[in-house]
Structure 1
Amino acid sequence: MSVDFDRSKQRWRVRWREHGRQRSRRFKTHAEALAFERSLVTEAEPPHAVRPERAGGDAIYPYSTDTGIRYRFLFRHSDGSLSTRRGFTSRRAAATARRHLVESISRGEVKVARETFGEFWTRLLEERRPHLTSGSFLDFETHGRKRLLPTFAAIPLARLDEDAVRRWLGAMVKLVDAGEISAKTVNNARTCLSVALNEASRRGLIPRNPCAAVPALPIHRRELDYLRLNEIQLDLDACMNHYRPLAAFLIGTGARISEALAIQYHHVDLDHGVVRIYGQRGRDGGASQPTKGKRSRSVQIGPGLVDTLIELRTAHQAGARDWIFLCPVPRRGRYAGRTTQGPPSRKTVHDWHEAALTDAGLRDMPLHALRHTAAAAWLATGHPLIFVQRQLGHRSMTTTETHYGHLELSFVREAVARTEETISQASRREP
């Protein structure tokens, strides 16, 4: 065992022998190299453990880390090559994982994976492209390029263990503490990593997903801001004429901006006050795509919003297949030559929204706050959470309760009073 400086790589190098093979590892600092050398001495293996599967031991060895004792185990691939898995928090966990892995190898379910994570990620992303919306594909690609590949790209897929994931998460936490990134963004990147490793596990390239034992970062949810009942009309009055119908639609339906921009007149039943939301407009302004939950829904609208949509259709002399919300023809700037109207981009609508808040003297809030405004208004006027869930299109009531349950207190109090009154009346009717 030795520690020296590799001038060709400009790194400190630790060299040692393991099971008759020369091994080496490089580090940026001398201190890191010495610490690793000490860990090798601590976890030195007995001579009889060269072929652990055939010896009497369990082939499980402890080693020290900054966060405490971890365990690793040795095993042989189907081609006879010796390998190891690290990062287990207990000897029992390592023994269980080793038993499952050895059984999977004997059944031919686990293959020898030679490709790196970067190679697998690129291949997986191309395979999934036809099944993802453009927005989802862009999210995966961005998280991979910015947050995953810089750390994991060169690591062989078979060697990507819990320790590697924990080190990556620790580096991300430092960026969160520095204010360079949010905990939610880190969790989203971790989800992308976990999706990829789950697929690698399903294909038998790795025995298990190392992300499974690395929990996501805790997120302290802030209360969602929204327009109070007395602020809604102030905001609508401050909207520009071409934006006011869209703002009223967002507040009246709780639709996402991407869903509202994909609405055409044949999606609206003006006689019965129903809007059918089938899809959403992509970030690039392209064709309509499935909604976030990949489910269509029907949303009830009030007579005031119905009148607004009728006036809009008459003013535009629109047909059934025409878009409802249009961007006015620009008179100056780079798009001054455009003669046809089309739906505005999300960025354009966001600018309109910001201008309305400023002109109305209201506090700043994101465009998505109009969706929360709709939910808060429904609850404030006595509608139950189940109505809010159906209007917003949440797949689970848990999501609705998490975001808006605290706003339902007035409805709960009124419901209890009505229940008591109903019981009392029923009792008085009995002979």
Structure 2
Amino acid sequence: MGVKVREKSAGSGVWWLFIDHNGQRKAKKVGTDKKLALEAAKKIEAKLTLGDMGLKDPEKKAPTFKEAADLWLHGYIKPLRRETTFERYSDMLKRHVLPTLGSTPINEIARKDVRELLLSVRAKGLSKASVCLVRDVMSGVFNHAIDDEIIEVNPVLGVVKRLNLSRDKQEEVEPLTKEEVGLFLETCKQNRPEYYPLFLTAFRTGMRLGELLGLKWGDVDWNGKFIRVSRSAKRGKITPTKTGKNRRVDMSDQLMNVLKGLQTQRKREALKKGHGVADGFIFLSREDEILSQNTVRNVFKGILRKAGLRDIRLHETRHTFASLLLTDGQSPVYVKEQLGHSSIQMTVDIYGHLIPSSNRDAVNRLDETQPSATQPQPAKIEKA
């Protein structure tokens, strides 16, 4: 038994370890630092000696994929990510991965196992985006196991690309027109007036639903005419915004007047009940509780039907806000700041087709700035 340090090619300056143990030989390149090579040799010799004397710790049994997934979900995702993310990942694993690979030791799962599982998920009729989400969740579990030194390789890497299962291109945004927004709001005012301030805020600020429901009166700056967006609400729980960053969104005159009217109404109601509204939430149910997102979505759909408008998601109010600003000639940078996008590239990727790409008057002005050019003359015709 022995571990030797030497240059594989004399004079090369590159040091190698040559290990001879129990009839097996192995060479390992260390690098150009001889001191580092000598230290590595000592450590390897110590490990080999302890192994021969029976003092080496027996190899731990690798956990099953389900056990590794539980460690990832509860040790990493739950404390660091949003609760909805934890629930979505847990559901994906429970429905699509654990029935097949849950009881398999994580170090025995090969690339072919991952490939076959993703193909079976795709065969169920799930979209490419859903298949990619299954891939991402599995990859997270394997990467966590690598960090815990349970496995050395992530078998998920590269599988989706080889199967041509990359996410579908983003669907084209189809926002409402200015006239359709007006029709929706008028219908809301007539049929569900208690929701009018909420939907007007949605169309005039482009906030996400959770951000709307998380607004408090203290977030409104009446003098500066803006709203500070710093939290989100879902299922009665308050969390940071989707990006984790705060932002300011401007208020139109109409929106400010409507919100002032709502605040006055709340103060009157509070006085009747014998308490104040100080810094309470702006949009509440009749029971003075934070509105349910599903309730708001259902009311939104009902108003669409009442107004005779096409069926769209409530999130389209955000797209509508952005599209109306861009088609009106506002800067994509301004729209990016109002929406709270992490980068201008995201704004351009989603709404690039709505940004005016040409202005014929501007092009014509280029001609006016140039000196008059000599008009081209017809070519002379040679006489025979």
With the shorter chain as reference, the TM-score category is: 0.7 to 0.9
Aligned-partner Cα distance in 2 for 1:140–1:134: 10
- 1:167 and 2:116 are equivalent in the alignment: yes
Q: Secondary structure at the match of 1:342?
A: coil
- 1:296 and 2:246 are equivalent in the alignment: yes
Q: Secondary structure at the match of 1:313?
A: helix
Aligned-partner Cα distance in 2 for 1:201–1:126: 17
RMSD: 2.8
Q: Secondary structure at the match of 2:157?
A: helix
Aligned-partner Cα distance in 1 for 2:23–2:282: 70
Residues 78-157 of structure 1 aligned to structure 2 (within 5 Å): 114-128=62-76, 129-157=78-106
Q: Is the 8 A contact 1:112 1:205 kept in 2?
A: no
Aligned-partner Cα distance in 1 for 2:61–2:221: 56
Q: Secondary structure at the match of 1:299?
A: strand
Q: What does residue 218 of structure 2 align with?
A: 266
Q: What does residue 247 of structure 1 align with?
A: 199
- The alpha carbon displacement at 1:415 in A equals 10
Q: What does residue 280 of structure 2 align with?
A: 322
Structure 2 CA distance for partners of 1:279 and 1:308, relative to 1, 3 Å: same
Aligned-partner Cα distance in 2 for 1:357–1:53: 75
Q: What does residue 211 of structure 1 align with?
A: 156
- The alpha carbon displacement at 1:370 in A equals 0.7
Aligned-partner Cα distance in 1 for 2:24–2:309: 70
Aligned-partner Cα distance in 2 for 1:257–1:186: 26
Aligned counterpart in structure 1 of residue 301 of structure 2, from 343, 349, 354: 354
Aligned-partner Cα distance in 2 for 1:53–1:366: 65
Q: Number of residue pairs matched? A: 304
- 1:403 and 2:366 are equivalent in the alignment: no
- The alpha carbon displacement at 1:154 in A equals 1.3
Q: Secondary structure at the match of 2:124?
A: helix
Q: What does residue 290 of structure 2 align with?
A: 343
- The alpha carbon displacement at 1:293 in A equals 1.0
- The alpha carbon displacement at 1:172 in A equals 1.2
Q: Is the 8 A contact 1:162 1:213 kept in 2?
A: no
- Which residue identity is paired with 2:339? L
Identity %: 28
Aligned-partner Cα distance in 2 for 1:116–1:405: 46
Aligned-partner Cα distance in 2 for 1:250–1:415: 34
Q: What does residue 256 of structure 2 align with?
A: 306
- 1:195 and 2:144 are equivalent in the alignment: no
Q: Secondary structure at the match of 1:355?
A: helix
Q: Is the 8 A contact 1:353 1:367 kept in 2?
A: yes
- Which residue identity is paired with 1:187? C
Aligned-partner Cα distance in 2 for 1:416–1:293: 40
Aligned-partner Cα distance in 2 for 1:226–1:172: 32
Structure 2 CA distance for partners of 1:265 and 1:53, relative to 1, 3 Å: farther
Q: Secondary structure at the match of 1:293?
A: coil
Please give the per-residue CA displacement for 1:186-245, whole angstroms capped at 9, x wherever unaligned: 222221111111111122211122222112533143212221111110010111101111
Residues 365-376 of structure 1 aligned to structure 2 (within 5 Å): 365-376=312-323
Aligned counterpart in structure 2 of residue 223 of structure 1, from 152, 158, 172: 172
Aligned-partner Cα distance in 2 for 1:182–1:53: 50
Aligned-partner Cα distance in 2 for 1:148–1:399: 31
Q: Secondary structure at the match of 1:211?
A: coil
Q: What does residue 68 of structure 1 align with?
A: none
Aligned-partner Cα distance in 1 for 2:263–2:97: 48
Please give the per-residue CA displacement for 1:90-115, whole angstroms capped at 9, x wherever unaligned: xxxxxxxxxxxxxxxxxxxxx86511
Structure 2 CA distance for partners of 1:359 and 1:153, relative to 1, 3 Å: same
Q: Which runs of 5+ in 1 are unaligned?
A: 1-50, 57-77, 80-110, 330-339, 426-431
Q: Is the 8 A contact 1:264 1:320 kept in 2?
A: no
Q: What does residue 83 of structure 1 align with?
A: none
- Which residue identity is paired with 2:102? A
Q: What does residue 65 of structure 1 align with?
A: none
Aligned-partner Cα distance in 1 for 2:143–2:65: 13
- Which residue identity is paired with 2:208? R
- Which residue identity is paired with 1:379? L
Aligned-partner Cα distance in 2 for 1:214–1:389: 34
- 1:285 and 2:236 are equivalent in the alignment: yes
Aligned-partner Cα distance in 2 for 1:388–1:419: 28
Further displaced range: 155-164 or 254-263: 155-164
- Which residue identity is paired with 1:183? K
Q: Is the 8 A contact 1:113 1:158 kept in 2?
A: no
Aligned-partner Cα distance in 2 for 1:378–1:372: 10
- Which residue identity is paired with 1:402? D
Q: Is the 8 A contact 1:113 1:206 kept in 2?
A: no
- Which residue identity is paired with 1:243? Y
Aligned-partner Cα distance in 2 for 1:375–1:250: 11
* TM-score with structure 1 setting the length: 0.66
Aligned-partner Cα distance in 1 for 2:352–2:176: 17
* TM-score with structure 2 setting the length: 0.73
